[in-house]
């Protein structure tokens, strides 16, 4: 049984397999993110899930210095980026591999690797971003 449900289940299932897939509306050919059961632009329910490379640029970022709930497994500080996928404009949150704490630059290129991260008592698939 698939542990993921909801409109974004294909995203999580693929991520657990080491692939990035994103939804695209067949009605108006726009990317649909966050995923939904119906396109917010044209109302179509026809969705294709297309594989993309884990390449992106920094759209925004923040560094977390203080512990908050469900982050107990992460070393502090950690850096979170809003990564804009290179050829579709979809933006995904993810952690930056940032051991030297070098501040990211908006527009800086990123490449992603597929991994898992611990959130509370659960382990979930994720993309860890790094500078290529
Ligand atoms: Zn549409």
Looking at 52, 68, 83, the residue that finishes a domain is: 52
What lies within 8 Å, CB to CB, of 19 at 6+ separation is: 51, 114
What is the CA(40)–ligand 1 centre distance, in A? Answer: 7
DSSP 1: -
Clarify whether residues 77 and 126 are in a common domain. Answer: yes
What is the CA(11)–ligand 1 centre distance, in A? Answer: 18
What is the CA(5)–ligand 1 centre distance, in A? Answer: 22
Residue 19 has pLDDT above 60, yes or no: yes
Residue 121 has pLDDT above 90, yes or no: no
Clarify whether residues 47 and 64 are in a common domain. Answer: no
For residues 111 and 118, which has the higher predicted lDDT (pLDDT)?
111
Residue 37 has pLDDT above 80, yes or no: yes
The whole domain housing 57 covers 53-132
Clarify whether residues 58 and 31 are in a common domain. Answer: no
| Structure tokens, 31 | 């990317």
Clarify whether residues 66 and 93 are in a common domain. Answer: yes
What is the CA(27)–ligand 1 centre distance, in A? Answer: 5
How many distinct structural domains can be found in the chain? 2
Clarify whether residues 104 and 60 are in a common domain. Answer: yes
What is the CA(97)–ligand 1 centre distance, in A? Answer: 35
What is the CA(69)–ligand 1 centre distance, in A? Answer: 37
Nearest alpha carbon to residue 23 among 15, 11, 40, 14? 11
Q: What is the pLDDT of residue 1?
A: 46
Q: What is the pLDDT of residue 5?
A: 86
Clarify whether residues 23 and 81 are in a common domain. Answer: no
């Amino acid at each position: 049984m698939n542990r993921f449900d909801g409109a974004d289940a294909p995203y999580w299932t693929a991520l657990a397999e080491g692939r990035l897939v994103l939804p695209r509306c067949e009605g108006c050919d726009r990317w649909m993110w966050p995923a939904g059961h119906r396109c917010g632009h044209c109302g179509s329910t026809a969705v294709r899930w297309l594989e993309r490379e884990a390449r992106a640029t920094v759209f925004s970022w923040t560094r977390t210095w203080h512990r908050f709930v469900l982050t107990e497994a992460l070393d502090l500080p950690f850096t979170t980026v809003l990564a804009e996928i290179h050829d579709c404009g979809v933006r995904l949150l993810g952690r930056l591999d940032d051991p030297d704490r070098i501040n990211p630059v908006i527009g800086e290129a990123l490449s992603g690797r597929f991994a898992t991260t611990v959130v509370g008592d659960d382990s979930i698939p994720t993309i860890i971003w790094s500078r290529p």
